[in-house]
Chain A
Amino acid sequence: MSSSDQQEPQAVRPLEVLYCQICTFPPEYCEFGSSLTRCKEWLQGAHSQLFDKYYSDEALQSKIGTLSLEAQAKLEKDSAKKEAKAEAKADAALKKKMASQVSIKRIERNKRKHVTAIHGLEAFDIELKKAAKFLAQKFATGASVTKNAQGQDEIVVQGDVSDDVLELIEGGAGPLKGVPADNVVIIEEKKKKAVE
């Protein structure tokens, strides 16, 4: 690079980098992730030329580079192990998800006033803040994310809207997508006679 007095007033163009839709890495690094089989399937379908570039016999030969053959073999073995482990983990996570429950609880605040507490949505990857905002708009009322007595986050909506919330969750409305209807229950909580 020769230094010249000429100033370059133009902005450098950003490089467009392709990222793997499965593991989010640049495809050249998929081999180090934990989903190589699925990554390869995706790349072959979406960018077949790149697939050949990275996974043809020559590419596989040359990429070993300065690594010893034993080290490469170990790397491949590790990669397969990692993948199996990640799959088992994903299975377990899915099972746990399917076993978790969302509860919609009607809570009596005083004789006429109720609030509706919705608990457990986060297990289904729902963003509580977004969901609360959505519900507040839907019912034109107040809704917030608060901690319950057990210190867990839940959404509290002003008013008795439990049946409507159930419907929205079953219909997968807005940010409330992804909760199977079987995993939702309505609970009614009567206020205990207050000792004043």
Chain B
Amino acid sequence: MFKKFTPSTDIAGQTPPKSSVQRSIRAAVLQQWKIGPETLEEIWPKKETLIHVKCREHISIYSVQSVPLFFQHFDGPFYPTLRLLHQYPSILPKVGIDRGAIRFLLAGAPMMCPGLTSAGGYLPPSEEALPKGTAVAVHAEGKEHAVGIGITELSTEDMRKLNKDVAVEVVTHLGDDLWALQTL
């Protein structure tokens, strides 16, 4: 999503949404992430204005005090930025890729099922299965911090069952152009 993203040409404008819209964004984030209102208050205090950074191809980045905190594609789920996820690793459910898949992910490739179902990969147990379309933290074999953030293209149960094709579409990863954008 942030391949060849150039702030000077790909950002259309920065505006603060109406306060009613800000409230509904806050509610949506609280509902979508595993996060309490107190923690969200630390990240995005109510007295701080959220800025909507409108980008090309219906990407919206939201920032507080010039720091990008989360983003959205069309009206899809809200994804934290990878730096925010590193600070609060439990806000998204986890999947894991094996070591061999890391360099493909870092090149922007989608993650195929075998990268997650192999011995070095990780999928949540059946009782915590994730449906298709879930925003996930993508961790990597032998690493402490997430390497990227993605959205499931299959339910995690189907990833195991089918074990082929795209499992997770990667929306942001270490070293992409959103990672490079530390302030806006």
Contacts and interface: CB of A to CB of B under 8 A. Distances in A.
Interface residues of B, number: 31
A175 interface: no
A32 B101 CA distance: 11
Given A65-B99, A78-B103, A14 B144 contact: no
Interface in A1-18: 8-12, 14-17
A8 B86 CA distance: 22
B36 A12 contact: yes
Interface string A35-78: 00000000000000000000000000011111100010001001
Please name the 3 residue pairs, one residue from A and one from B, whose CB atoms are nearest each other, closest first.
A66-B120, A14-B87, A11-B38
A51 to B, nearest CB: 16
A29 interface: yes
A66 B119 contact: yes
Contacts of A170: none
Given A17-B86, A67-B100, A11 B36 contact: yes
Given A11-B39, A15-B89, A66-B99, A28 B143 contact: yes
B35 to A, nearest CB: 8
B77 to A, nearest CB: 20
A15 B119 CA distance: 28
Contacts of A63: 99, 142
A9 B87 contact: no
Contacts of B89: 15
B87 A15 contact: yes
Nearest to A9: B38
Contacts of A8: 36, 38
A28 B145 contact: yes
Contact of B147 (A10, A29, A78): A29
B102 A12 contact: no
B98 interface: yes
Nearest to A12: B39
A178 interface: no
A24 interface: yes
A11 B142 contact: no
A8 B38 CA distance: 9
